[in-house]
Structure 1
Amino acid sequence: MHNFSTKHSSVRDLHRMKRLETLSIIVNGGCTMETLSSSLSELTHLENLTINDDKVLYATKNDEKGFVLDCVHLKQLELEIHMPSLPDEKHFPSHLTTIHLYGCCLEEDPMPILEKLVHLYDVDLSHMSLCGRRMVCSGGGFPQLHKLHLFGLNKWEEWIVKEGSMPLLHILRVDNFHKLKEIPDGLRFITSLKELKICRAPWGFKKKLSREGEDYYKVQHIPLVQIEYDYR
């Protein structure tokens, strides 16, 4: 089911769709996140879920308190809702393989939660999904992650990747950032990396990542490194 709207229907109607496997919801009134969470927990066969709040850029920080995801079989998740922090890993489905966060304005680093989801294969954090300044990927985290895309995190300043994090990462894309000071030292430990693409990077990255640059040692093991600079 696609484009289920809370403006024209009640999420409680979902209770009768026990075998629903794919669902996209547009939250545009008449529903709290607590009610939505409760209704989704009834869908025990759900594998693909998209939730879009059409007022995501204007929501207040208290609008999504109590949001949890207890869909046991969920594999793919896309969230476009305002939420100051993620639910803890106990309220994320243990079989989740793909997650896309858009415009969530997370004030807390999501990585300590996401890296504990051992089946995650593809993570995409886009367009102010993080409003904090620091991100830390711990050793042993993201054991199955192959793809990581970080886009439009305009307040992001510091990224730490510890040895042992993301041991199977193949593709890393960092796009449209303004305050990040440097690529993390820990990338040199991720020997599985096949492709690094940095788009709309500040000019300071050009010198640092060149063959004579101070940060070249971090990326010299990666077969394909592409850097596109922000010419504004």
Structure 2
Amino acid sequence: MRWELARTDRADAPTEETASALLRLVVRDGDADTVGRAVSGAAVELALGSYPGFHLTAPPGKGAPYGVFEARYVPVEEVGHVAVLPDGERLAVPAEGPRKELEPLPEPGLPEPLPPGPARTVPLGRVAGARSGDKGGDANVGVWVRTDDAWRWLARELTVARFQELLPETAGLTVVRHVLPNLRALNFVVHGLLGEGVAAQARFDPQAKAVGEWLRSRHLPVPAALLEEPEVTA
């Protein structure tokens, strides 16, 4: 069972929707009857007997099936590879021969930091682009900049700790940072952000498509010299 309260309400709102907050409940069980009418019916009764304005966004209904996806390594021999030629002929591609075990690579060195100077608090998106998505229950967030000076700042500023500070939902999770200097980019893997995967539909943004833009919207001190460069559009 998971509760989420999205404070979308505004003071003196011009529409009913913008005057309202969204309380979301996700309940999962192996028995559809346990999480179907039993839950939605109780929600209706609670709404009718509670404070004025409490209502549901959909009528009571049955429980819906959901899926669970996990990313795992499997032996290459278990995954058949087939090449389909233009004339329709299908050729089996044999698995490769001996392979090395995966080993962690050493982190690339960081560039020299920018010299001290004035800074302004602005959204990260003023100087950085981003793209994000899902890998099972994990989220991938790529962040990049256009110039060497911006890279000197980004590589040292956007650490894992800073990333988790900017995105509090990731604070209790394992976040791994990969440095990609030739692309002037960083990649963050957030383990477990999406719970049991996209098909589980337990999160507001189940595919983490908007996490990168959320990161770009967050404010932090950025060197004033970088703000004189053309703004990045993701």
TM-score relative to the length of structure 2: 0.20
Greater helix percent: which structure? 2
Over alpha carbons, which structure has the higher Rg? 2
Higher relative contact order (CA 8 A, sep 6+): 2
TM-score relative to the length of structure 1: 0.20
